[in-house]
Structure 1
Amino acid sequence: MLAIIGGSGLTQLSTLEIVRREVVRTPYGEPSGALTFGELCGRPVVFLARHGYGHTIPPHLVNYRANIWALKQARADAVVSVASVGGIRADFAPGTLLIPDQIIDYTWGRKSTFFEGGDQAVHHVDFTHPYDESLRQRLLQAGKQAGEAVFDGGVYAATQGPRLETAAEINRFERDGADVVGMTGMPEAVLARELELPYAAVNVVVNFAAGRASSEHGIHFDSIEPILQESMVRVRNLLDHLCRV
């Protein structure tokens, strides 16, 4: 069963034929909301809104451990994350969809492992390639079948939030090799790896990052919502086709 975690702009899947909703408890507290079970193109899917169904949970307060644990407990066998990002690279303009292949983590203080010592042995996971390559390729193939332009690869910079970044920080991220910037990619990805859940992401560029192009003098929030809504229609199309790949 495929699990989909929806970010900003994707608090529900309009094409999901809902079967039931289930409130789940985990050893790590409550997930962001009830799990929504249903079918997408005849395939079983479980959906979770990362920020809550009313979009009330900021990025640094998302209970990432409870979310991933709940999806594993629900017997998901793969996780696709959908998240809006800012474009750092000049060719990653608003409206770009990409399937990233690398992460740089700038977050701090978040609960980022299921193995915290005590009576548990220290556990290290290989994170050389943070996204599952097979699932990445399925997303790219789904994009082709859906007729959507989807960029293959990109380095995702995960920041703490909830504030947006300064222009100087974006300059630093670019020097570090980042292509896009967001606030929710970590520790979500590594927690999935710890539970051996294949994980990949669909990034939706909704604005240029601070100091870049149209955001040179500031982020124009009034222009983000139309781009987000239009892009999420494309994301839903991609996800519909993913269930057929």
Structure 2
Amino acid sequence: MKLTHYRALWLSDIHLGNKDCKAEYLLDFLNHVTVDTLYLVGDIVDMWEMTRQFRWPDAHNQVLQTFMRMSREGTKVIYLPGNHDEPLQSYSGMQFGNIDICREFVHTTAKGKNYLVLHGDQFDGDVTLGKFHGWIGDKGYDLLLFLNRWYNRFRQWQNNHYWSLAGYIKQHIKGANTAIARYRTACCQRAEKMQLDGVICGHIHHPEEHIENGIHYVNDGDWIENCSALGEDNQGNLSLICWTTQMQQHMSVTQLKPRAKTSKAA
């Protein structure tokens, strides 16, 4: 089996311990790649969910063991805790075994472009309209995941491949699109203040790339809805990866092509 090599790879929002985690898909993906630097961009373990109902299937344990094995075998692993694995934030700047823990990091690509890497929960205050709004969002998302779970069980019963119903519905909800736009703007503003070329994040389970005021925004997505990641090849090209699509169509990833910075209006 030919393995795809990445100079850097970004994974976020895996939510190990959550019943909607697509650990089997992630394991299949990890078995097809080699990586120099692996960024675990938050919400890797869903500690919130596990306080409500502890569950740790073998596939979830295998994912964690694979990360640890990669770190021992030469892959540099950097863990940037998010909100669902918030207890680990207090260990920022420390190292556990061969894994570095940090809240934010600046990654330099092979092309010399500098990207802020962070989970993204730092911008929750810029996205939500208050605690009630956030509660409504959580309950609505739980419903989306419930529908997504049963819809794909039905598709599996019909021998059809996985398809994210939750992602499709979310794209057609005006309020969700507004929140995504606010989040994107907040991320880009932080990178701009730091005089960086772009920002790489997760948190909102919405893989995409976008140029905003000359800042290259890339969200690597999740392994709850989209089974997506972000990779950098040895030439410094960034590519969003949708693993379920690649499994189905045996297609190569679509290369992202950041546009040149545009001049800002006075």
TM > 0.5 between the two? Answer: no
Max Rg structure: 2
Structure (1/2) with the larger helix percentage: 2
